[in-house]
Amino acid sequence: MCPLSLCATGERVKVEKIAGGCEVRRRLEAMGVLPGEEVEVISCHCGPVILNIKGCRLGLGCGMAQKILVTPVAPSR
């Protein structure tokens, strides 16, 4: 398990845990970032991260990306 901010561009990962206040968690959850959800890292520069979640692009700031813990998944296609 590692923070999303450390992932490489193009990696597919599974969200394990969202550490952070309940405000932030709620917002992420409403947009579909839930534990167990698989996401694709479109771009990551140890800071702002762009995610592909359910076909949408979501931009996350540095601090946010550090609070989302993920595990890598083997590519399915």
Partner 1 sequence: MKKDNIVIALAGNPNSGKTTIFNALTGSRQRVGNWPGVTVERKEGKTDLDGRQVTVVDLPGIYSLTANSLDERVARDFIVQDKPCLIAVVLDASNLERNLYLSLQLMELKAAPLVLVFNMIDEVEEKGMSIDLDGLSRLLGIPIVATAAKKNRGIQQLKKVLAERIGLDALTPADIPFRYRENTEFAIERLSSRLEKDPVLGQSSPSRWLAVKLLEDDREYLARLEKSPLRNALLEDLGVLKKELEKSIGYDLETALVEERYGFINGIVKEFVKTSWGLEDRLSLSDKIDKVLANRVLGLPIFFFLLWLIFKLTFDVGGFFVDHIDRLFTALGSQAATLIDRLDAPSWVASLVEDGIIGGVGSVLVFVPIIFFLYLAISLLEESGYMARGAFVMDKVMHAMGLHGKSFIPMVVGFGCNVPGIMAARTLENPKDRIITILITPLMSCAARLPIYVLFAGAFFAKHQGTVIFAIYLLGIALAMLMARLFKSIFFKGEPAPLIMELPPYRLPSAKSLLLSAWHRSFIFIQKAGTVIFLAVVAVWCLASLPL
d(CA 3, CA 7): 7
Query: Contact between 69 and partner 1 (CB under 8 A)?
Result: no
- Find the shortest distance in angstroms from Cβ 14 to partner 1: 14
| Nearest to partner 1 of 45, 71 (CB atom) | 45
φ and ψ of 74, to 5 deg: -70, 140
Query: Contact between 71 and partner 1 (CB under 8 A)?
Result: no
**How far, in whole angstroms, is CA 8 from its chain's centroid?**
12
Site for partner 1 in 27-66 (CB under 8 A): 27-32, 34-36, 42-43, 45, 47-48, 50, 52-64
Task: Report how far apart, in Å, the C-alpha atoms of 64 and of each of 5, 24, 74 are.
Answer: 8, 9, 24
Output Rg (C-alpha) for the chain, integer angstroms: 11
Using CB under 8 A as the criterion, which residues of the chain lie in contact with partner 1 when the complex forms? Answer: 20, 22-32, 34-36, 42-43, 45, 47-48, 50, 52-64, 67
